[in-house]
Amino acid sequence: MGKSNLISPHGSETLKILLLEGKAREDELKKAESLPKVVMTTRETGDLIMLGIGGFTPLEGFMSEADWKGVCENMTMANGIFWPIPVTLSHDEKVDAGTEICLISGETEEIMGTMMVTECYKIDKEFECKHVYTTTDAEHPGVKMVMGQKEWNLAGPVKVLSESYFPKDFADIYMRPAESRKVFEEKGWKTIAALQLRNPMHRSHEYLGKIAIEVSDGLFIHQLVGQLKPGDIPADVRVDCINTLVENYFDKNRVLTGGYPLDMRYAGPREGLLHAVFRQNFGCTHMIIGRDHAGVGNYYGPFDAQEIFFNLPEGALECKMLPIDWTFWCYKCGGMASMKTCPHAKEDRLFLSGTALRKALSEGGEVPSEFSREEVLKILRAYYAGLKDEDKVEVKMHGHATGDAEVKKKK
C-alpha cells in the first residue's frame, strides 16, 4: 500500500493505538482482575479511551509531573511536543512507582485498562486552572472539574481494554481515528475541515460547515458524545438532530459524521487547540474555529480561541485553523451572513447560539424559523416537552450568545 495522502498524526508518523484486542486483551483482562483498583471519573475514562484508539497520539499514558507543568505553563510536554491541556489521572492515595494498577470506570464499574505507575505526585490545582482555564472561579465547570480531583496524580503508560458503551450506544457515529482516515482515503479527500459540535446544529453551524466544504474536499462533523454540563442537550438527542440536518440539507458525498468519547472541559482557547490536535489524529487538515469556541459564560472573549491559534509557535501544530467570523441571520440580506459580509445594522440581525436556542426551548418560548431547521426543532421540542420539572435547568444568557459582547479585532 502506498504512502497516505492524509496529514500525519500529531507528533508521530503513525497512530499510537493502545487498545488491546483478541488474546492480548483477554490475557490482560484476566491479569487486571487481581491488580489494585483505581476508579476513574467520566473525564478520565474518556481520556483513556482516546488514548486507546489513538485519538491522543503521541501520548502513551497519563502525564508525568514534568509533562503536566510544561503543558500548563507553555503547552509543551517534557519531550518538546506541543500539547495544550493536561491529560492526568487522580487518586486519593499515594501509589508507589512500579505498581501496576487496574483502571475502573466510576460510571459503569467496568475494567477499562491497566497502567504501570511510573510516578505519583501532587499538583497545585489553582496553578492549572489559572493557566488552562484563565480563571479560578469555582462556577466555571472546568475549574470545578479540576478542583474536584483527588489528592494525587498517577503517571504512566496504559493498556486499554474497553471503549465502554460508546461503540454500542452510538453505533452510527462512534469512530476511531483509523476508521475516519480510511473513509477519507477512500473518498480521495486531502483537505478535510473538522466541525466541533456539542450542541444540535442551528443555522450558524450549518453555515460554518458549508463555508468549509466550499474550500475543502470534505467536512468532518465531529460531535462530542461524552458528558456535558447540566442544561446542555444530551448526546443521543443531538445526534438525532445532526443526522436529520445532514440527511436533508447537505451533500452526503462531502460530509462524514463522527462521534468521540470525551467530556467537555469548557476550556475555551486551550480546548480549541486540543480539538485541533486530536482532529489531526482523525485525519483532518483544518479545524473550524468560530465565535466563542468551547467557551462557557463570559470567561473568554468571542475570538480568544482564534487569537491563540494565530500566536502558536511555528511548527507546533500541523492542523490549521479555519477562522470564521461572527455569523447570524440578516433579514435585509435575506440569509446567513457574517461580520465580514454583511453591511447592515445589529437590529437587522438575528444572532444564533446554542445557549439562546436552549433557553427558548427550555422555557417553551417561540423559536424564529431562521434559527434552526424545522425538522431539527421538532426533535428538540419533543425532548423538552418530555423533561420532568426536576430535570430542568435554568439556562443563563451571556453576551456571546446575544451579540452584545464586544467583538475583538482579529489579525
Tell me the catalytic residues: 198-199
Torsion angles phi and psi, residue 178, rounded to 5: -60, -30
Dihedral, CA of residue 11, residue 175, residue 206 and residue 406, to nearest 10: -50
Integer angstrom CA distances of residue 191 from 245, 286, 319: 23, 7, 10
* Contacts with 72 (C-beta within 8 Å, 6 or more apart), sequence order: 86, 127, 128, 131, 132
Joined grid coordinates for residue 335: 440569509
DSSP state of 12: S
DSSP codes, 263-305: PP---THHHHHHHHHHHHHTT-SEEEE-TTTT--TTSS-TTHH
- For 382-391, the CB contacts below 8 A with 24+ separation are 383/233, 383/237, 387/362
Q: What is the phi-psi region of residue 222: left when phi exceeds 0, alpha when psi lies from -120 to 50, beta otherwise?
A: beta
Read off the C-alpha cell for 116: 504501570
Which one, of 24, 23, 17, 18, lies nearest residue 178 by Cα?
17
Report the chain's C-alpha Rg in angstroms: 21
Q: For residues 209 and 290, is the Cβ–Cβ distance under 8 A?
A: no
